[in-house]
Amino acid sequence: MAGALQTWSPFRQMERFRREVDELFDRFMSGATDTGRWLRDRWHPAIESFVEGDTMVVRADLPGIDPDKVEVTVNGDLLTISGSREAAKEEKDRDYMYREVIYGSFERTLHLPSGIDRDQIKASYSNGVLELRMPLPREMVSRKVPIEIEHRK
């Protein structure tokens, strides 16, 4: 029935609002402006860092990236991972239905603990993941402190 009354639902209104915002965002990111193209072409790979024994490990997810297009630099206590992901072939007339893959340059910078020997940093790349391993300075390695138990009377 075309003219039937419907119960008001805030969730239906929120869904409609979300669709409208998505459409607006899609139009903005379509490359019609330089700002839209700049936002679309910048991306930041996911990074994780952790301590494993006496080694600091940093991993960066770089799927679809040629490792020859990645550069790792250390300047003081700053570790920078930069590079680019380029489309195999630019298709200007392609009308995308859905697109989440972002092409272009990236750069991530992390602060390293003081005392890291940059000559000891080892880098490897496997299955789209860049892994950096570096020995921690001796004073940063955790150590277990034994507890002396006094005899009780």
Q: What is the pLDDT of residue 33?
A: 46
Q: Which domain holds residue 34?
A: 11-41
| Structure confidence by residue, pLDDT tens digits, 102-147 | 778 899 999 998 888 889 999 999 999 999 999 988 777 777 888 8
Do both 55 and 80 map to the same domain?
Answer: yes
Residue 104 near residue 84 (C-beta atoms within 8 A): yes
| Domain count within the chain | 2
Write down the pTM of the prediction: 0.62
Same domain, 19 and 82: no
Query: What's residue 40's pLDDT?
Result: 47
How many residues make up the chain in this entry? 153
Binning pLDDT at 50, 70 and 90, where does residue 61 land? Answer: very high
Residue 127 lies in a domain: yes
By C-alpha distance, which of 107, 116, 108, 106 is closest to 51? 116
Q: What is the CATH number of the domain that holds 117?
A: 2.60.40.790
Residue scoring higher pLDDT (135 or 31): 135
